[in-house]
């Protein structure tokens, strides 16, 4: 498969039902690790150039949403792929348990404040989708409340898109055995043990409930203006290739351009 086909292959077609159990999180699509690394490096070069143009143009923004079960590789994706971006124009937001001020507002209030401004590429490490995932799985609000949030999220993202924000939603998919191995590696490595907590094992017991919630999220909120991409993430190198290809191709499609040169004197000697 050519990299130009990855974006279309991994996109969740709006209106179609998704079942993660039907998708292979270890898929390679004919790529090999060595050649994939070279292709990823070229994508990162494209991303750097395109971000610079987007920043200089200052007319539009891009929002990258990363979701996935614990240990799916969200942090690793930011570290290995989004390193192509100048951090001055690339704010990263991580959404944890809402504080008292955030709980006093609607569930999207804290999200809207973090949306990137014109010229920026913003990254959400987890996002507003937690309100149809962990909130649903743990029964933090009744079904009559969280079930309405799919339509509310779609409307919110439509507003962003209409206002000039291109939304790239990436779901990192791993299987249960891969998660087990990654948890074990975290526990066994003194440098990574800080990332492990016993609460991770409690959440792991809810694997099937999360998979059902993911299926609904992907099926009900992949839209023409903000489609989801399901990234096979068992292999980090394939994950990096897929994410960098989708992001670079999407940015390229925006055709960001440097603004016209200002009307300056033909010869200027600055003392």
Query: Comparing C-alpha atoms, which of 107, 120, 122, 121 is closest to residue 156?
Result: 107
CA atoms within 13 A on the CB side of 22: 8
Residue range 115-125, pLDDT digits in tens: 999 999 999 99
Residue 265: which pLDDT band, with cuts at 50, 70 and 90? confident
How far apart (Å, rounded) are the C-alpha atoms in residues 240 and 141? Answer: 35
Inform me whether the pLDDT recorded for 266 exceeds 90: no
Output the pLDDT for position 49: 98
CATH architecture of 3-14+26-254: 3-Layer(aba) Sandwich (3.40)
- pLDDT score of 207: 98
Query: Rounded to the nearest 5°, which phi and psi values hold at 36?
Result: -65, -35
H/E segment holding residue 263: none
* Residue (of 259, 252, 233, 188) closest to 73 by Cα position: 233
pLDDT band at 263 (very low <50, low <70, confident <90, very high): confident
Residue 247, pLDDT > 80, answer: yes
What value does the mean pLDDT take over residues 82-104? 95
Structure tokens at 192: 């990574």
Q: Give the tens place of pLDDT for each residue, 145-186.
A: 999 999 999 999 999 999 999 999 999 999 999 999 999 999
Dump pLDDT digits (tens) for 195-245. Answer: 999 999 999 999 999 999 999 999 999 999 999 999 999 999 999 999 999
Report domain extents, the chain: 3-14+26-254
Instruction: Output the pLDDT for position 209.
Output: 98
- Which residues, listed in sequence order, are joined to residue 229 by a DSSP beta bridge? 11, 170
The SS3 of residue 170 is strand
Q: Is the model's pTM score more than 0.85?
A: yes
The confidence band for 126, taking pLDDT boundaries of 50, 70 and 90, is very high
Could you tell me which residues come within 8 angstroms of residue 226 by beta carbon, excluding any fewer than 6 positions away?
Answer: 154, 157, 158, 160, 161, 167, 169
């Amino acid at each position: 498969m050519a990299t130009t086909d990855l974006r279309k292959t991994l996109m969740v077609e709006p209106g179609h039902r998704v079942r993660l159990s039907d998708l292979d999180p270890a898929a390679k699509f004919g790529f090999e690790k060595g050649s994939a690394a070279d292709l990823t490096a070229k994508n990162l070069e494209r991303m750097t150039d395109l971000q610079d143009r987007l920043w200089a143009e200052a007319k539009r923004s891009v929002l990258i949403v990363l979701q996935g079960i614990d240990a799916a590789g969200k942090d690793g994706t930011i570290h290995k792929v989004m390193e192509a971006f100048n951090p001055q124009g690339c704010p990263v937001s991580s959404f944890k348990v809402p504080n008292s001020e955030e709980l006093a507002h609607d569930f999207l209030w804290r999200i809207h404040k973090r949306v990137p401004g014109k010229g920026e590429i913003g990254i959400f490490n987890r996002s507003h989708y937690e309100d149809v995932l962990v909130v649903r799985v743990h029964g933090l609000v009744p079904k009559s409340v969280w079930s309405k949030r799919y339509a509310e999220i779609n409307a919110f993202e439509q507003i962003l898109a209409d206002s000039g924000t291109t939304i790239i939603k990436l779901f990192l998919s791993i299987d249960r055995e891969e998660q087990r191995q990654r948890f074990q590696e975290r526990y066994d490595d003194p440098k990574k043990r800080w990332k492990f907590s016993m609460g991770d094992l409690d959440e792991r017991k809810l694997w099937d409930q999360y998979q059902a919630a993911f299926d609904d999220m992907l099926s009900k909120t992949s839209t023409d203006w903000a489609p989801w991409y399901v990234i096979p993430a068992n292999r980090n190198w394939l994950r990096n290739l897929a994410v960098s290809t989708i992001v670079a191709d999407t940015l390229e499609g925006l055709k960001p351009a440097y603004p016209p040169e200002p009307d300056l004197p033909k010869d200027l000697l600055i003392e």
